[in-house]
Structure 1
Amino acid sequence: MSTVVDKSQAGLTARQYHIGIAPGEVSSVALLPGDPFRVPFVAEFLTDVKEVAHNREHRTMTGWYKGRHITATSTGMGCPSTAIAVEELARVGVTSFIRVGSSAGLQPGIAPGDLLVSEGSFRNDGTTDAYVPKGFPALPDAELTLALTRHSTRLATEAGTRALAGISVSDDAFYAETPEWIDHLQRMGLLNVEMEASALFVVARLRGLRAGMVCACSSNLVDGASLYDEANTALKDGWMRSIEAALETAVELEL
Protein backbone atom coordinates (compact mmCIF):
# COMPACT_ATOMS: atom_id res chain seq x y z
CA MET A 1 0.00 0.00 0.00
CA SER A 2 1.29 3.47 -0.88
CA THR A 3 2.21 5.73 2.01
CA VAL A 4 2.30 8.89 -0.11
CA VAL A 5 -0.03 11.53 1.36
CA ASP A 6 -2.96 12.63 -0.80
CA LYS A 7 -3.44 16.24 0.30
CA SER A 8 -6.79 16.46 -1.47
CA GLN A 9 -8.16 13.95 1.02
CA ALA A 10 -6.14 14.63 4.17
CA GLY A 11 -7.98 16.32 7.04
CA LEU A 12 -11.24 16.93 5.21
CA THR A 13 -13.46 16.67 8.29
CA ALA A 14 -10.96 17.92 10.87
CA ARG A 15 -9.96 21.29 12.26
CA GLN A 16 -7.94 22.83 9.46
CA TYR A 17 -4.20 23.01 9.99
CA HIS A 18 -3.47 26.56 8.82
CA ILE A 19 -6.66 28.52 9.50
CA GLY A 20 -7.50 26.68 12.73
CA ILE A 21 -11.21 26.27 11.94
CA ALA A 22 -13.41 23.17 12.16
CA PRO A 23 -16.58 22.41 10.17
CA GLY A 24 -19.60 24.21 11.59
CA GLU A 25 -17.69 27.19 12.98
CA VAL A 26 -18.16 29.55 10.01
CA SER A 27 -20.81 30.66 7.53
CA SER A 28 -21.26 29.94 3.82
CA VAL A 29 -19.79 33.31 2.74
CA ALA A 30 -16.41 34.76 3.68
CA LEU A 31 -14.95 38.22 3.19
CA LEU A 32 -11.19 38.01 2.69
CA PRO A 33 -8.99 40.97 3.67
CA GLY A 34 -5.26 40.34 3.41
CA ASP A 35 -4.22 41.87 6.73
CA PRO A 36 -5.40 40.13 9.93
CA PHE A 37 -5.70 43.52 11.57
CA ARG A 38 -8.36 44.49 9.02
CA VAL A 39 -10.66 41.63 9.99
CA PRO A 40 -12.03 43.83 12.83
CA PHE A 41 -12.97 46.42 10.18
CA VAL A 42 -15.43 43.86 8.82
CA ALA A 43 -16.60 43.11 12.35
CA GLU A 44 -17.56 46.78 12.81
CA PHE A 45 -20.50 46.14 10.46
CA LEU A 46 -21.61 42.95 12.23
CA THR A 47 -23.60 42.00 15.31
CA ASP A 48 -22.98 39.05 17.66
CA VAL A 49 -19.33 39.05 16.67
CA LYS A 50 -17.13 36.10 17.64
CA GLU A 51 -13.42 35.57 17.07
CA VAL A 52 -13.18 31.98 15.89
CA ALA A 53 -9.44 31.55 15.34
CA HIS A 54 -6.17 33.38 14.77
CA ASN A 55 -3.38 31.18 13.50
CA ARG A 56 -0.39 32.50 11.55
CA GLU A 57 -1.68 35.16 9.12
CA HIS A 58 -5.21 33.76 9.17
CA ARG A 59 -7.57 35.53 11.59
CA THR A 60 -11.27 34.69 11.51
CA MET A 61 -14.31 36.44 12.97
CA THR A 62 -18.00 35.77 12.41
CA GLY A 63 -21.16 37.78 12.95
CA TRP A 64 -24.46 38.81 11.41
CA TYR A 65 -25.35 41.47 8.82
CA LYS A 66 -28.98 42.09 7.82
CA GLY A 67 -29.92 38.53 8.63
CA ARG A 68 -26.95 36.88 6.89
CA HIS A 69 -24.29 34.96 8.77
CA ILE A 70 -20.93 36.41 7.70
CA THR A 71 -17.35 35.19 8.08
CA ALA A 72 -14.21 37.32 7.71
CA THR A 73 -10.85 35.57 7.31
CA SER A 74 -7.52 37.21 6.49
CA THR A 75 -5.50 35.57 3.74
CA GLY A 76 -2.09 37.09 4.40
CA MET A 77 -0.07 38.49 1.52
CA GLY A 78 0.21 36.74 -1.81
CA CYS A 79 -1.24 33.81 -3.71
CA PRO A 80 0.26 30.91 -1.69
CA SER A 81 -1.43 31.80 1.59
CA THR A 82 -4.61 32.87 -0.24
CA ALA A 83 -4.90 29.49 -1.93
CA ILE A 84 -4.48 27.76 1.43
CA ALA A 85 -7.15 29.93 3.05
CA VAL A 86 -9.66 29.28 0.25
CA GLU A 87 -8.99 25.54 0.17
CA GLU A 88 -9.38 25.18 3.94
CA LEU A 89 -12.39 27.49 4.23
CA ALA A 90 -14.10 25.46 1.53
CA ARG A 91 -13.46 22.32 3.58
CA VAL A 92 -15.30 23.80 6.57
CA GLY A 93 -18.35 25.00 4.63
CA VAL A 94 -17.63 28.30 2.85
CA THR A 95 -19.00 28.39 -0.69
CA SER A 96 -18.65 32.08 -1.62
CA PHE A 97 -15.64 34.37 -1.23
CA ILE A 98 -15.23 38.13 -1.65
CA ARG A 99 -11.77 39.63 -1.39
CA VAL A 100 -11.74 43.11 0.18
CA GLY A 101 -8.36 44.78 0.37
CA SER A 102 -5.92 47.29 -1.07
CA SER A 103 -4.79 47.59 -4.65
CA ALA A 104 -2.68 50.04 -6.65
CA GLY A 105 -4.14 51.82 -9.66
CA LEU A 106 -2.50 51.35 -13.05
CA GLN A 107 -4.43 53.94 -15.06
CA PRO A 108 -4.20 57.74 -14.77
CA GLY A 109 -6.74 59.42 -12.53
CA ILE A 110 -7.51 56.53 -10.20
CA ALA A 111 -7.42 58.08 -6.74
CA PRO A 112 -6.84 56.68 -3.24
CA GLY A 113 -10.14 55.45 -1.87
CA ASP A 114 -11.69 54.69 -5.27
CA LEU A 115 -13.25 51.23 -5.44
CA LEU A 116 -11.83 48.75 -7.95
CA VAL A 117 -13.88 45.68 -8.91
CA SER A 118 -12.04 42.88 -10.71
CA GLU A 119 -13.58 41.36 -13.85
CA GLY A 120 -10.65 38.95 -14.16
CA SER A 121 -7.02 38.65 -13.17
CA PHE A 122 -3.86 38.46 -15.27
CA ARG A 123 -2.03 35.53 -13.65
CA ASN A 124 1.49 36.82 -12.98
CA ASP A 125 1.98 34.46 -10.05
CA GLY A 126 3.48 31.04 -9.47
CA THR A 127 0.79 29.46 -7.31
CA THR A 128 -1.88 29.15 -9.98
CA ASP A 129 0.67 27.55 -12.33
CA ALA A 130 0.68 24.59 -9.92
CA TYR A 131 -3.09 24.24 -10.40
CA VAL A 132 -3.69 24.95 -14.10
CA PRO A 133 -1.78 25.63 -17.35
CA LYS A 134 -0.94 29.19 -18.37
CA GLY A 135 -3.86 29.51 -20.78
CA PHE A 136 -6.45 28.93 -18.05
CA PRO A 137 -8.24 32.22 -17.20
CA ALA A 138 -8.63 33.56 -13.66
CA LEU A 139 -12.23 34.74 -13.67
CA PRO A 140 -14.57 35.72 -10.83
CA ASP A 141 -18.20 34.67 -10.60
CA ALA A 142 -20.15 36.82 -13.08
CA GLU A 143 -23.33 37.40 -11.03
CA LEU A 144 -21.34 38.17 -7.91
CA THR A 145 -19.11 40.61 -9.81
CA LEU A 146 -22.07 42.46 -11.30
CA ALA A 147 -23.61 42.84 -7.83
CA LEU A 148 -20.30 44.08 -6.41
CA THR A 149 -20.12 46.66 -9.20
CA ARG A 150 -23.66 47.91 -8.54
CA HIS A 151 -23.15 48.29 -4.79
CA SER A 152 -19.67 49.75 -5.19
CA THR A 153 -20.93 52.34 -7.67
CA ARG A 154 -23.79 53.37 -5.38
CA LEU A 155 -21.58 53.69 -2.29
CA ALA A 156 -18.83 55.52 -4.15
CA THR A 157 -21.27 57.95 -5.71
CA GLU A 158 -22.80 58.70 -2.31
CA ALA A 159 -19.29 59.40 -0.97
CA GLY A 160 -18.24 61.58 -3.90
CA THR A 161 -15.63 59.09 -5.14
CA ARG A 162 -15.60 56.57 -7.98
CA ALA A 163 -15.98 52.85 -8.56
CA LEU A 164 -14.32 51.26 -11.58
CA ALA A 165 -14.40 47.73 -12.96
CA GLY A 166 -11.78 46.08 -15.16
CA ILE A 167 -9.08 43.45 -15.42
CA SER A 168 -6.58 43.36 -12.58
CA VAL A 169 -3.18 41.70 -12.30
CA SER A 170 -1.87 39.54 -9.47
CA ASP A 171 1.89 39.91 -9.02
CA ASP A 172 4.05 37.77 -6.74
CA ALA A 173 6.99 40.09 -6.11
CA PHE A 174 6.05 43.51 -4.71
CA TYR A 175 9.54 45.02 -4.96
CA ALA A 176 10.28 43.49 -8.37
CA GLU A 177 7.68 45.73 -10.03
CA THR A 178 10.00 47.93 -12.07
CA PRO A 179 8.91 51.14 -13.84
CA GLU A 180 9.17 49.20 -17.10
CA TRP A 181 6.84 46.47 -15.81
CA ILE A 182 4.33 49.01 -14.45
CA ASP A 183 4.35 50.83 -17.81
CA HIS A 184 3.77 47.51 -19.59
CA LEU A 185 0.75 46.74 -17.39
CA GLN A 186 -0.65 50.23 -17.94
CA ARG A 187 -0.29 49.96 -21.71
CA MET A 188 -2.19 46.64 -21.66
CA GLY A 189 -5.12 48.53 -20.13
CA LEU A 190 -5.05 46.73 -16.80
CA LEU A 191 -6.94 48.55 -14.09
CA ASN A 192 -5.01 47.69 -10.94
CA VAL A 193 -2.40 45.42 -9.39
CA GLU A 194 -2.61 43.35 -6.21
CA MET A 195 -1.29 39.99 -5.02
CA GLU A 196 -4.14 37.57 -4.28
CA ALA A 197 -7.03 37.56 -6.77
CA SER A 198 -5.67 35.10 -9.32
CA ALA A 199 -5.33 32.35 -6.71
CA LEU A 200 -8.76 33.14 -5.29
CA PHE A 201 -10.42 32.99 -8.70
CA VAL A 202 -8.64 29.86 -9.93
CA VAL A 203 -9.08 27.80 -6.78
CA ALA A 204 -12.72 28.84 -6.48
CA ARG A 205 -13.39 27.91 -10.10
CA LEU A 206 -11.75 24.50 -9.74
CA ARG A 207 -13.64 23.71 -6.53
CA GLY A 208 -17.04 24.84 -7.80
CA LEU A 209 -17.16 27.91 -5.54
CA ARG A 210 -18.10 31.56 -6.12
CA ALA A 211 -15.55 34.37 -5.82
CA GLY A 212 -15.20 38.07 -6.47
CA MET A 213 -13.06 41.03 -5.47
CA VAL A 214 -13.55 44.69 -4.64
CA CYS A 215 -10.53 46.66 -3.41
CA ALA A 216 -9.87 50.21 -2.34
CA CYS A 217 -7.20 52.05 -4.30
CA SER A 218 -4.17 52.59 -2.07
CA SER A 219 -1.96 54.45 -4.55
CA ASN A 220 -1.53 55.09 -8.25
CA LEU A 221 1.64 53.65 -9.77
CA VAL A 222 1.42 55.65 -12.99
CA ASP A 223 0.60 58.98 -11.33
CA GLY A 224 3.71 58.91 -9.16
CA ALA A 225 2.59 57.33 -5.87
CA SER A 226 4.53 54.21 -4.94
CA LEU A 227 3.43 53.20 -1.43
CA TYR A 228 0.29 53.78 0.56
CA ASP A 229 0.01 55.30 4.00
CA GLU A 230 -2.37 53.45 6.32
CA ALA A 231 -3.10 56.75 8.05
CA ASN A 232 -4.55 58.03 4.78
CA THR A 233 -8.20 58.82 5.52
CA ALA A 234 -9.26 58.28 1.92
CA LEU A 235 -7.84 54.76 1.92
CA LYS A 236 -9.46 53.80 5.24
CA ASP A 237 -12.79 55.15 4.00
CA GLY A 238 -12.33 53.15 0.80
CA TRP A 239 -11.71 49.97 2.77
CA MET A 240 -14.93 50.49 4.68
CA ARG A 241 -16.91 51.11 1.48
CA SER A 242 -15.44 47.97 -0.09
CA ILE A 243 -16.53 45.95 2.93
CA GLU A 244 -20.03 47.41 2.84
CA ALA A 245 -20.31 46.67 -0.90
CA ALA A 246 -19.28 43.06 -0.24
CA LEU A 247 -21.76 42.71 2.61
CA GLU A 248 -24.60 44.17 0.57
CA THR A 249 -23.73 41.73 -2.22
CA ALA A 250 -23.85 38.81 0.22
CA VAL A 251 -27.31 39.91 1.33
CA GLU A 252 -28.64 40.51 -2.19
CA LEU A 253 -27.44 37.16 -3.52
CA GLU A 254 -28.16 35.26 -0.29
CA LEU A 255 -24.63 33.88 -0.30
Structure 2
Amino acid sequence: MNKAASELVLNPDGSVYHCNILPEQLADLVITVGDPDRVEKVSQYFDEIEFKTRKREIVTHTGSLNGRRITVISTGMGTDNIDIVFSELDALANIDLKTGEIKEDLRQLQFVRLGTSGALHQDIPVDSVVLSSHGLGMDGLLHFYEDSLMVRDLDMEEAFYEHADWDDSKAVPYVVKSSTELLEQLSSDQTINGITATALGFYGPQGRNLRLAPHPVDINEILSSFSHNDHRITNFEMETSGIYGLAAMMGHEALSVNCIVANRALGEFSKDSFKSVDKMIQYALEKLTNS
Protein backbone atom coordinates (compact mmCIF):
# COMPACT_ATOMS: atom_id res chain seq x y z
CA MET A 1 0.00 0.00 0.00
CA ASN A 2 1.31 3.43 -0.94
CA LYS A 3 1.92 5.90 1.87
CA ALA A 4 -0.11 9.12 1.70
CA ALA A 5 1.83 12.36 1.37
CA SER A 6 0.67 13.31 4.87
CA GLU A 7 2.16 10.06 6.27
CA LEU A 8 5.51 9.92 4.47
CA VAL A 9 6.41 13.61 4.32
CA LEU A 10 9.14 14.60 1.87
CA ASN A 11 10.97 17.81 1.02
CA PRO A 12 10.82 19.22 -2.55
CA ASP A 13 14.12 17.47 -3.39
CA GLY A 14 12.68 14.09 -2.35
CA SER A 15 14.56 13.86 0.96
CA VAL A 16 12.78 12.83 4.17
CA TYR A 17 11.20 15.81 5.88
CA HIS A 18 13.06 16.28 9.17
CA CYS A 19 16.39 14.55 8.51
CA ASN A 20 16.72 16.16 5.07
CA ILE A 21 18.67 13.28 3.53
CA LEU A 22 18.23 10.89 0.59
CA PRO A 23 18.56 7.09 0.70
CA GLU A 24 21.97 7.03 -0.97
CA GLN A 25 23.31 9.43 1.70
CA LEU A 26 22.63 6.95 4.55
CA ALA A 27 25.24 4.39 5.60
CA ASP A 28 24.40 0.99 7.11
CA LEU A 29 26.22 1.99 10.31
CA VAL A 30 24.53 4.96 11.97
CA ILE A 31 25.96 6.70 15.01
CA THR A 32 23.43 8.82 16.87
CA VAL A 33 24.27 11.67 19.24
CA GLY A 34 21.95 14.02 21.08
CA ASP A 35 23.95 17.22 20.71
CA PRO A 36 24.22 18.68 17.17
CA ASP A 37 27.71 19.95 18.02
CA ARG A 38 28.82 16.39 18.79
CA VAL A 39 28.34 15.29 15.16
CA GLU A 40 31.56 17.05 14.16
CA LYS A 41 33.27 15.65 17.26
CA VAL A 42 32.65 12.21 15.75
CA SER A 43 33.19 12.92 12.05
CA GLN A 44 36.53 14.67 12.70
CA TYR A 45 37.99 11.18 13.00
CA PHE A 46 36.65 9.99 9.62
CA ASP A 47 39.14 9.45 6.82
CA GLU A 48 36.78 11.36 4.53
CA ILE A 49 33.39 13.08 4.69
CA GLU A 50 31.22 12.78 1.58
CA PHE A 51 28.04 14.51 2.69
CA LYS A 52 26.83 17.08 5.24
CA THR A 53 23.42 18.57 5.92
CA ARG A 54 21.50 20.29 8.69
CA LYS A 55 17.83 20.93 9.43
CA ARG A 56 16.79 22.33 12.81
CA GLU A 57 18.67 20.33 15.47
CA ILE A 58 19.28 17.38 13.14
CA VAL A 59 22.82 17.48 11.75
CA THR A 60 24.08 14.66 9.53
CA HIS A 61 27.56 13.77 8.29
CA THR A 62 28.27 10.66 6.17
CA GLY A 63 31.80 9.49 5.52
CA SER A 64 34.12 6.58 6.07
CA LEU A 65 36.76 5.34 8.49
CA ASN A 66 39.10 2.40 7.91
CA GLY A 67 37.07 1.44 4.86
CA ARG A 68 33.72 1.40 6.66
CA ARG A 69 31.01 3.86 5.64
CA ILE A 70 29.36 5.66 8.59
CA THR A 71 26.56 8.16 9.08
CA VAL A 72 26.56 10.24 12.26
CA ILE A 73 23.35 12.12 13.04
CA SER A 74 22.11 14.25 15.92
CA THR A 75 18.68 13.44 17.32
CA GLY A 76 18.23 16.09 19.97
CA MET A 77 17.09 15.05 23.45
CA GLY A 78 14.27 12.70 24.32
CA THR A 79 12.45 9.72 22.85
CA ASP A 80 10.02 12.01 21.01
CA ASN A 81 12.93 13.07 18.80
CA ILE A 82 14.09 9.46 18.54
CA ASP A 83 10.66 8.57 17.12
CA ILE A 84 11.11 11.15 14.36
CA VAL A 85 14.70 10.35 13.42
CA PHE A 86 14.45 6.56 13.58
CA SER A 87 11.18 6.46 11.64
CA GLU A 88 12.69 8.57 8.88
CA LEU A 89 15.97 6.63 8.75
CA ASP A 90 14.05 3.37 8.48
CA ALA A 91 11.94 4.90 5.70
CA LEU A 92 15.15 5.81 3.83
CA ALA A 93 16.30 2.20 4.11
CA ASN A 94 13.07 0.30 3.56
CA ILE A 95 10.46 2.40 1.76
CA ASP A 96 10.60 3.43 -1.89
CA LEU A 97 10.27 7.19 -1.44
CA LYS A 98 9.01 7.66 -5.00
CA THR A 99 6.15 5.14 -4.80
CA GLY A 100 5.63 5.01 -1.03
CA GLU A 101 5.75 1.21 -1.11
CA ILE A 102 7.61 -0.90 1.44
CA LYS A 103 10.52 -2.70 -0.24
CA GLU A 104 10.51 -6.48 -0.53
CA ASP A 105 14.17 -6.80 0.51
CA LEU A 106 14.55 -4.98 3.79
CA ARG A 107 17.84 -3.30 4.72
CA GLN A 108 19.15 -3.77 8.25
CA LEU A 109 20.91 -0.84 9.88
CA GLN A 110 23.20 -0.78 12.90
CA PHE A 111 22.55 2.07 15.34
CA VAL A 112 25.10 3.02 17.98
CA ARG A 113 24.16 5.83 20.35
CA LEU A 114 27.08 7.80 21.79
CA GLY A 115 25.65 9.81 24.65
CA THR A 116 26.09 11.09 28.17
CA SER A 117 24.44 9.71 31.28
CA GLY A 118 24.30 9.73 35.06
CA ALA A 119 25.28 6.71 37.15
CA LEU A 120 23.05 5.44 39.95
CA HIS A 121 25.65 3.46 41.94
CA GLN A 122 28.72 4.61 43.86
CA ASP A 123 30.90 1.97 42.18
CA ILE A 124 30.34 3.44 38.68
CA PRO A 125 32.78 6.36 38.51
CA VAL A 126 32.37 9.53 36.49
CA ASP A 127 34.19 9.40 33.14
CA SER A 128 33.56 5.65 32.80
CA VAL A 129 31.63 4.03 29.92
CA VAL A 130 28.44 2.02 30.36
CA LEU A 131 27.01 -0.19 27.61
CA SER A 132 23.25 -0.64 27.90
CA SER A 133 22.31 -4.32 27.95
CA HIS A 134 18.66 -3.23 28.19
CA GLY A 135 16.67 -0.03 27.91
CA LEU A 136 14.02 0.54 30.60
CA GLY A 137 11.55 3.07 29.22
CA MET A 138 9.43 5.26 31.47
CA ASP A 139 8.42 7.51 28.57
CA GLY A 140 5.55 5.49 27.09
CA LEU A 141 6.67 5.70 23.43
CA LEU A 142 6.42 2.00 22.59
CA HIS A 143 2.81 1.75 23.73
CA PHE A 144 1.84 3.70 20.60
CA TYR A 145 3.01 0.81 18.36
CA GLU A 146 1.15 -2.48 17.83
CA ASP A 147 4.27 -4.66 17.61
CA SER A 148 5.86 -3.55 20.89
CA LEU A 149 4.88 -6.75 22.73
CA MET A 150 6.99 -8.74 20.27
CA VAL A 151 10.26 -7.05 21.32
CA ARG A 152 9.73 -6.35 25.03
CA ASP A 153 11.11 -8.32 27.98
CA LEU A 154 7.79 -8.83 29.76
CA ASP A 155 9.28 -10.74 32.70
CA MET A 156 11.67 -7.91 33.54
CA GLU A 157 8.89 -5.36 33.05
CA GLU A 158 6.65 -7.17 35.52
CA ALA A 159 9.47 -7.53 38.04
CA PHE A 160 10.23 -3.80 37.85
CA TYR A 161 6.55 -2.83 38.02
CA GLU A 162 6.16 -4.78 41.26
CA HIS A 163 9.50 -3.64 42.70
CA ALA A 164 8.71 0.03 42.06
CA ASP A 165 5.07 -0.20 43.20
CA TRP A 166 4.51 1.75 39.99
CA ASP A 167 1.95 4.54 39.92
CA ASP A 168 -0.76 3.63 37.39
CA SER A 169 -1.21 7.29 36.46
CA LYS A 170 2.18 7.11 34.73
CA ALA A 171 3.05 5.28 31.51
CA VAL A 172 3.67 1.57 32.02
CA PRO A 173 7.45 0.88 31.96
CA TYR A 174 8.77 -1.22 29.10
CA VAL A 175 12.06 -3.08 28.62
CA VAL A 176 13.92 -3.95 25.39
CA LYS A 177 17.28 -5.70 24.99
CA SER A 178 20.23 -4.32 23.08
CA SER A 179 21.78 -5.99 20.06
CA THR A 180 23.74 -8.97 21.35
CA GLU A 181 26.18 -8.65 18.45
CA LEU A 182 26.95 -4.98 19.07
CA LEU A 183 27.13 -5.45 22.84
CA GLU A 184 29.76 -8.17 22.41
CA GLN A 185 31.66 -6.13 19.82
CA LEU A 186 32.01 -3.06 22.02
CA SER A 187 32.45 -4.75 25.41
CA SER A 188 35.89 -4.82 27.02
CA ASP A 189 37.60 -4.37 30.36
CA GLN A 190 37.12 -0.63 29.77
CA THR A 191 33.31 -0.84 29.86
CA ILE A 192 30.53 -1.66 32.31
CA ASN A 193 27.27 -3.35 31.27
CA GLY A 194 23.89 -2.62 32.80
CA ILE A 195 20.26 -1.65 32.33
CA THR A 196 19.82 1.97 31.28
CA ALA A 197 16.69 3.75 32.53
CA THR A 198 15.22 6.26 30.10
CA ALA A 199 13.25 9.19 31.52
CA LEU A 200 10.98 11.56 29.60
CA GLY A 201 12.60 14.61 31.21
CA PHE A 202 15.75 15.81 32.94
CA TYR A 203 14.43 17.27 36.19
CA GLY A 204 11.34 15.80 37.88
CA PRO A 205 11.39 12.53 35.91
CA GLN A 206 14.98 11.98 37.07
CA GLY A 207 14.29 12.95 40.68
CA ARG A 208 15.81 16.43 40.54
CA ASN A 209 14.21 18.95 42.87
CA LEU A 210 14.40 22.66 42.01
CA ARG A 211 11.10 24.43 42.77
CA LEU A 212 8.79 21.56 41.81
CA ALA A 213 8.95 18.40 43.91
CA PRO A 214 9.41 15.20 41.86
CA HIS A 215 7.07 12.24 42.23
CA PRO A 216 8.16 9.77 43.38
CA VAL A 217 10.85 11.61 45.32
CA ASP A 218 12.93 8.43 45.65
CA ILE A 219 13.03 7.42 41.97
CA ASN A 220 16.83 7.04 42.04
CA GLU A 221 16.65 4.67 45.02
CA ILE A 222 13.86 2.69 43.36
CA LEU A 223 15.95 2.27 40.22
CA SER A 224 19.29 1.55 41.86
CA SER A 225 17.81 -1.13 44.16
CA PHE A 226 16.29 -3.13 41.28
CA SER A 227 17.91 -6.25 39.85
CA HIS A 228 16.60 -9.07 37.69
CA ASN A 229 18.46 -12.16 36.49
CA ASP A 230 21.81 -10.61 37.52
CA HIS A 231 21.04 -7.35 35.68
CA ARG A 232 20.93 -4.06 37.59
CA ILE A 233 19.94 -0.56 36.55
CA THR A 234 23.20 1.32 36.23
CA ASN A 235 22.35 4.72 34.77
CA PHE A 236 19.75 7.28 33.74
CA GLU A 237 19.32 9.16 30.44
CA MET A 238 16.62 10.16 27.90
CA GLU A 239 16.90 8.19 24.63
CA THR A 240 18.00 4.55 24.95
CA SER A 241 14.64 2.80 25.45
CA GLY A 242 13.14 4.49 22.39
CA ILE A 243 16.17 3.56 20.30
CA TYR A 244 16.04 -0.07 21.38
CA GLY A 245 12.29 -0.42 20.96
CA LEU A 246 12.00 1.16 17.53
CA ALA A 247 15.14 -0.54 16.20
CA ALA A 248 13.95 -3.96 17.37
CA MET A 249 10.46 -3.54 15.88
CA MET A 250 11.98 -2.39 12.57
CA GLY A 251 14.50 -5.24 12.45
CA HIS A 252 17.63 -3.17 13.08
CA GLU A 253 20.49 -3.63 15.57
CA ALA A 254 21.08 -1.06 18.30
CA LEU A 255 23.44 -0.35 21.18
CA SER A 256 23.66 2.60 23.55
CA VAL A 257 27.13 3.66 24.70
CA ASN A 258 27.03 6.02 27.68
CA CYS A 259 29.77 8.30 28.97
CA ILE A 260 29.11 8.74 32.70
CA VAL A 261 29.38 12.47 33.34
CA ALA A 262 27.58 12.45 36.70
CA ASN A 263 27.27 10.09 39.66
CA ARG A 264 23.89 10.69 41.27
CA ALA A 265 24.68 8.52 44.31
CA LEU A 266 27.81 10.54 45.12
CA GLY A 267 26.60 13.91 43.83
CA GLU A 268 29.64 14.17 41.56
CA PHE A 269 30.03 15.61 38.06
CA SER A 270 32.92 15.08 35.65
CA LYS A 271 35.69 17.69 35.87
CA ASP A 272 36.30 17.41 32.11
CA SER A 273 33.28 15.84 30.42
CA PHE A 274 34.43 16.93 26.94
CA LYS A 275 37.63 14.90 27.31
CA SER A 276 35.67 11.88 28.58
CA VAL A 277 33.16 12.06 25.72
CA ASP A 278 35.99 12.33 23.19
CA LYS A 279 37.63 9.24 24.69
CA MET A 280 34.34 7.35 24.38
CA ILE A 281 33.97 8.42 20.74
CA GLN A 282 37.46 7.21 19.85
CA TYR A 283 36.91 3.92 21.69
CA ALA A 284 33.63 3.24 19.89
CA LEU A 285 34.99 4.13 16.45
CA GLU A 286 37.97 1.84 16.93
CA LYS A 287 35.75 -1.06 17.99
CA LEU A 288 33.31 -0.49 15.13
CA THR A 289 35.86 -0.14 12.34
CA ASN A 290 38.77 -2.35 13.41
CA SER A 291 36.93 -5.47 14.62
TM-score between the two structures when normalised by the length of structure 2: 0.74
Spell out the pairing of 1:94-133 with structure 2 (5 A cutoff): 95-131=109-145, 132=148
Please name the residue that 2:76 is paired with. 76
SS at the partner of 2:121?
A: coil
Distance 1:59 1:27, change over 3 A: same
The structural deviation recorded for 1:4 is 7.6
Distance 1:67 1:108, change over 3 A: same
Alignment of 1:185 with 2:223, yes or no, is yes
Q: Specify every segment of 5 or more residues in structure 1 that has no aligned partner in the other structure, as ranges.
A: 157-162
Alignment of 1:195 with 2:238, yes or no, is yes
Please name the residue that 2:99 is paired with. none
Choose from 226, 247, 250 the match for 1:207. Answer: 250
Alignment of 1:169 with 2:197, yes or no, is yes
The structural deviation recorded for 1:183 is 1.2
Paired residues of 2:35 and 2:74 also in contact (CA < 8 A):
yes
Paired residues of 1:27 and 1:71 also in contact (CA < 8 A):
yes
SS at the partner of 1:18?
A: coil
Q: Which moved more, 1:196-205 or 1:122-131?
A: 122-131
Partner Cα distance (1:130, 1:221) in 2: 31
The structural deviation recorded for 1:50 is 4.4
Please name the residue that 1:42 is paired with. 42
Partner Cα distance (2:281, 2:4) in 1: 42
- Superposed CA deviations along residues 128-164 of structure 1, whole A, max 9, x for unmatched, are 22123584631111011111113xx3xx4xxxxxx21
Paired residues of 2:47 and 2:66 also in contact (CA < 8 A):
no
Q: Which amino acid aligns with 1:56?
A: R
The structural deviation recorded for 1:199 is 0.6
Paired residues of 2:133 and 2:194 also in contact (CA < 8 A):
yes
Paired residues of 1:113 and 1:236 also in contact (CA < 8 A):
no
Q: Specify every segment of 5 or more residues in structure 2 that has no aligned partner in the other structure, as ranges.
A: 94-107, 155-173, 208-216, 227-231
Larger radius of gyration: 2
Q: Which amino acid aligns with 2:244?
A: F
Choose from 139, 147, 150 the match for 2:177. Answer: 139
SS at the partner of 1:117?
A: strand
Identity value in percent: 26
Q: Which amino acid aligns with 2:85?
A: A
Please name the residue that 1:242 is paired with. 280
Q: Which amino acid aligns with 2:77?
A: M
Partner Cα distance (1:144, 1:85) in 2: 20
Distance 1:167 1:111, change over 3 A: same
RMSD: 2.4
Size of the alignment, in residue pairs?
A: 235
Distance 1:87 1:248, change over 3 A: farther
Q: Which moved more, 1:235-244 or 1:169-178?
A: 235-244
Partner Cα distance (1:180, 1:5) in 2: 46
- Superposed CA deviations along residues 203-233 of structure 1, whole A, max 9, x for unmatched, are 10011111101110010111123xx56xx42
